[in-house]
Amino acid sequence: MNLNNTDYFSCTFETGESNAINKDFFKERDFLGGWTVSDRNPLIGLKRHASREILPQNKIIDISIEDLKNILEGTIKKNATDKNIIFLSGGKDSSTLAYIFKRLNIPFKAISLYSNVSQTTEYNIVQQLEKKLEIDVNYYKIDTIPKIDFPYWIENPFTAKRLAVKELSLADHRIFTGEIGTGEMQVNQSLQYTAMLGYRPKDLARWHVNVCGSYRRINSVNEIHDDPIYFECIEHFESRFAEWGRHPDILNRVMFSRLQDEGAYRLFNYGLDDLEWVHPYAESDFISACVNMPSEYKGKKNLYREMYPEMTDLAWRYPKSGLGIPTM
């Protein structure tokens, strides 16, 4: 279950009686790489309900860095117990989270997943972080992720984390994730495109679908499928851009028009299980401030460094590779 207030990313699927499988749901899920944006449900006759909260505001929120820090640390303090876990991937989000816990003197166990099968690893980065932050990291080896027949949205990193918590007998801990960070999920390409050709929301709506559906491999702004459901997905992101049209800073529109949908996807499966998950960055007040503040702070996840300039820059020195573990 998700413990903190992540209302901007809420998502529920109706449950009930229906014998008919909605094949279009699964088709849409394929077009977006494991998730959906419509109200389709896997069962015909039932629906999905997305958050009705509107993230973009019609003005730029000029929040101070100090206030932003207070919101984030307030969420952590409010939800932390004497038994906490942080999954340390070596990336900027989880590294900052660990740094904040350390700074606030909140006890936590750091867990890092790694694999001997995959050569793609952040193991060495986490080892360096362990020294820099002076923490003990529990390295959990996982060579395959068990194949789970996800009824709704597919999310393998969640499965790996859940498995580690169960096998390490830490299910009684409160688990903090770095999910969605400061909202800058894959913003560089869209910023570059806007820098090159100006603000083109229709092109970027196509890119959102293409890049998600290809698991980040295809960075095309063209129509690459000829299917009504594919076009529906594009229209959805066009409507997101229209919603963001109220926000005065064009670059915030460029960076955050996919955030509510992808954020909902990232958090969704955590909400279904019996573990206690906390996603401090996805807390409503924090994420709303991040995406509505002047864009000049954004782009390279530098907001963390604005908040904590004394923190190590290790996570900024390496590209993020992901776990690279096959699903069996």
Partner 1 sequence: MDSAFRLCSIKNLIVVASKDAKQAFIDTVYPHNIDCVVITANEAKHYTGDYKVVFFGCFVQELAHCENIVMDDIIYRAWSPKPYTVRWEPESLATFLGCWFSQSKLRKMNNNHSWRFKNGKPIDGRFGWLKNLMT
Q: Which residues contribute to the site for partner 1 (CB under 8 A)?
A: 117-122, 187-199, 203, 207, 217, 219-222, 250-251, 254, 295-296, 298-300, 318-319, 321, 324, 326
The answer to whether 137 and 130 are in contact (CB under 8 A) is yes
- Of 85 and 187, nearer to partner 1 (C-beta) is 187
Minimum distance between the CB of residue 198 and partner 1, rounded to whole angstroms? 6
CB-based contacts of 257, cutoff 8 Å, min separation 6: 201, 204, 205, 208, 237, 240, 241, 243, 244
- Of 40 and 208, nearer to partner 1 (C-beta) is 208
- Of 165 and 221, nearer to partner 1 (C-beta) is 221
φ, ψ of residue 5 to 5 degrees: the values are -80, 105
Minimum distance between the CB of residue 314 and partner 1, rounded to whole angstroms? 13
CB-based contacts of 202, cutoff 8 Å, min separation 6: 238, 241
Other beta carbons less than 10 A from residue 313's beta carbon: 12
- Of 127 and 284, nearer to partner 1 (C-beta) is 127
- Of 83 and 139, nearer to partner 1 (C-beta) is 139
Strand partners, 176: 86, 278
Minimum distance between the CB of residue 253 and partner 1, rounded to whole angstroms? 11
- Of 9 and 207, nearer to partner 1 (C-beta) is 207
The answer to whether 72 and 278 are in contact (CB under 8 A) is no
Minimum distance between the CB of residue 136 and partner 1, rounded to whole angstroms? 24
Q: Would you call 90 helix, strand, or coil by DSSP?
A: coil
What does each C-alpha distance from 260 to 53, 55, 168, 191, 244 come to in angstroms? Answer: 9, 8, 32, 18, 11
Closest CA to 71 of 291, 288, 312: 288
Minimum distance between the CB of residue 36 and partner 1, rounded to whole angstroms? 24
Minimum distance between the CB of residue 100 and partner 1, rounded to whole angstroms? 24
Minimum distance between the CB of residue 121 and partner 1, rounded to whole angstroms? 7
Q: How far apart are CA 8 and CA 211, in angstroms?
A: 23
- Of 53 and 215, nearer to partner 1 (C-beta) is 215
- Of 73 and 203, nearer to partner 1 (C-beta) is 203
What does each C-alpha distance from 103 to 98, 134, 135, 157, 305 come to in angstroms? Answer: 9, 11, 12, 27, 14
Minimum distance between the CB of residue 218 and partner 1, rounded to whole angstroms? 8
Q: Would you call 310 helix, strand, or coil by DSSP?
A: coil
